[in-house]
Amino acid sequence: MHSMAIVEWGKALQPVDTPNPAPKGTEVLVRVTGCGVCHSDIHIQDGVIDMGGGRKVEYAKIGFPLPHTLGHEIVGEVVAAGPDAAGAKIGQRYVVFPWIGCGKCEFCQRGDELLCANGRALGVRAPGGYADHVLVPHPKYLVDFTGVPETLAATYACSGLTAFSALKKLAHLGPEETIVIIGAGGVGLSAVMIAPAAVKARVVVADISDRKRDAALKAGAGAVYDNSDKDALKALRAATPFGAGAGGAIDFVGAPGTAQFGVNALRRGGTLVEVGLAGGETPFGILTFMQRMLTITGSYVGSLEELKELMGLVKAGKVPAIPVATKPLAQVNDVLADMRAGKIDGRVVLTP
C-alpha cells in the first residue's frame, strides 16, 4: 500500500509504503480511485488546533501516532472483503462514509456515530485516502453513487455532507424566513447550491470577498452582503419581515467576527449554526442568548443517513455540481500549499 503520509507534524507529506492489509471480519479493502482534499487536512497536517483564548490542542500530546495518512473524501473500488463483510461486491465502486465510530457504544449502535467518544474516522484517526488503498471497517459505510461523476461523488463525503447537515439544522424555518450563510468558500458555496433541496427558507450570503459574493449570486443566493461593511446588518435586517432579522445563520468561517455577525443577524428565537474551523473565542455576552432566546449549535460533518439522503438528492439531479479538478496523489504537497494560499476554488480530488 502506497500512501502520502504525515511523518512529522507541520512538514510536507512523505511517501510511505506498507503491505496491503488483508481485511478481517467485516472489513473491506477499497482501492482508492479518488480522494478530495479538505481544508481540515491542513489543520491535521499542522498538528495544532486553536481552541480560543490562547488554548491549543497539539496532536502529538493527545496520543496521535505517526505516520498518519490523511484524506476523508474517498471513492474507490472494493477489491477484497473479510468473511463477514456481507453485501460488499468485489469490483463495485462506492463513496466511503469516513465518519466512523467505535461500532460498539450505544451511540454507534443507534447510528449516531458522530457522538462516539472513541471515533476512528478515516483520514482523521484511522488511515485515510491519500493512498492507493484504504481499509473500511464495514460494508455499511459504502454508499452508492450510480450516475454521478466519480470525483464529484467523493466530495459529498465531507464538503457536501458538512453543508447538508448544517442546512438540515435549519430545515424547520418556513419560506418567509431568511438563512444567512456566512463565508462562501468551498463548503459555504456548496451550501448555497444544496439549499433549495434541503431548506424552505430564502438563503442569503455574507462574505468579505467580492469574488466570493459574485460566485454566491451565480450559485443562487437571494442576496449578498459584505460583512466588513458596517451597514450590511441593517440592509440584511431590512430585507426580512418586520425588519426582525434572520431565522438562522450558518457560520462557515468560525472566527469571532463571523460568529458575531451571525448572532447580530438573527431575529429573536433564531439559531446560529457554527461550522467553520478558523477558531477563537466567542465574542458575545451570555445574556444575549437568554434575552433574545437564541440557540447556538455546532455542526460537524454529518451522519451516514445524511450522506445517503444527500447522495439520493444528487442522483436525482437536485444538487448542482461544484467545480472539481483532479491532480495526481504525488502532487499532494502542491495542492495543500495552494489551499493554504486560498488559491483553490471548488475541490481538488487526488488520484493515485
Q: Which residue has the cell 463565508?
A: 183
Q: Tell which residue, 181, 187, 186, 215, has the closest CA to residue 199.
A: 181
**Cα dihedral across residues 36, 42, 47, 50: positive or negative:** negative
Residue 117 or 287: the one with the smaller Cβ distance to Zn ion is 117
Among 108, 204, 310, 350, binds Zn ion (CB under 5 A): 108
* Stretch touching Zn ion by CB under 5 A, among 12-20, 114-122, 206-214, 310-318: 114-122
Closest approach, Cβ 278 to Zn ion, in A, equals: 15
User: Does position 324 bind Zn ion by CB under 5 A?
Assistant: no
| Rounded distance between C-alpha atoms, residue 42 and residue 48, angstroms | 10
Shortest distance in whole angstroms from residue 308 CB to Zn ion: 18
Query: Is residue 12 close enough to count as binding Zn ion by CB under 5 A?
Result: no
> CB neighbours (10 Å) of residue 153?
27
CB 322 within 8 A of CB 310: no
The residues pairing with 14 across neighbouring beta strands, listed in sequence order, are 5
- The single residue listed with the C-alpha cell 447538508 is 164
Q: Is 208 in the site for Zn ion (CB under 5 A)?
A: no
Does residue 115 bind Zn ion (CB under 5 A)? no
Q: Which CB, 95 or 266, lies closer to Zn ion?
A: 95
Q: How far is the CB of 84 from Zn ion (least distance, A)?
A: 19
Regarding 165 and contact with Zn ion (CB under 5 A), the answer is: no
Q: CB under 5 A: which stretch of 59-67, 85-93, 104-112, 284-292 binds Zn ion?
A: 104-112
Q: Does 38 sit near Zn ion (CB under 5 A)?
A: yes
- The residue from 30, 70, 116, 154 that contacts Zn ion (CB under 5 A) is 116
Shortest distance in whole angstroms from residue 115 CB to Zn ion: 8
339 makes contact with Zn ion (CB under 5 A): no
- Is 122 a residue that touches Zn ion (CB under 5 A)? no
Q: What is the DSSP letter of 157?
A: I
Supply the minimum distance, in Å, between the C-beta of residue 80 and Zn ion.
25
Distance CA 143, CA 161 (A): 13
Which CB atom, from 158 or from 180, has the smaller least distance to Zn ion?
A: 158
Contact range with Zn ion by CB under 5 A, out of 18-26, 155-163, 169-177, 205-213: 155-163
Q: Which of 34, 76, 82, 101 lies at the binding interface for Zn ion (CB under 5 A)?
A: 101
Quick check: 118 and 137 in contact, CB under 8 A? no
β strands within the chain, DSSP E: 2-6, 14-17, 28-36, 48-52, 55-58, 68-69, 73-81, 93-96, 133-136, 142-143, 178-182, 202-206, 224-225, 246-251, 266-274, 295-298, 324-328, 347-351
The residue (of 119 and 222) whose beta carbon lies closer to Zn ion is 119
105 counts as binding Zn ion under rule CB under 5 A: yes
Which of 7, 102, 217, 339 is close enough to bind Zn ion by CB under 5 A? 102
Number of residues binding to Zn ion, judged by CB under 5 A: 8
- Out of 1, 81, 158, 266, the only residue in the binding site for Zn ion (CB under 5 A) is 158
Quote the least distance from Cβ 288 to Zn ion, whole Å. 30
Q: DSSP assignment of 13-66, as one string?
A: -EEEE-PPPPP-TT-EEEEEEEEE--HHHHHHHHTEEEEETTEEEEGGGGT--S
Residue 5: burial class (beta carbons within 10 Å; 0-12, 13-18, 19+): buried
Biggest CA-to-CA distance, the chain: 65
Comparing CB distances to Zn ion, the nearer of 99 and 225 is 99
The smaller minimum CB distance to Zn ion, of residues 30 and 173, is found at: 30
Three-state secondary structure call for residue 178: strand
The two beta strands, 55-58 and 48-52, are antiparallel
Q: Which stretch binds Zn ion (CB under 5 A): 60-68, 108-116, 125-133, 344-352?
A: 108-116
Span near Zn ion by CB under 5 A; candidates 13-21, 102-110, 131-139, 237-245 = 102-110
How far, in Å, CA of 145 to CA of 316, rounded? 11
Q: Which residues bind Zn ion (CB under 5 A)?
A: 38, 40, 101-102, 105, 108, 116, 158
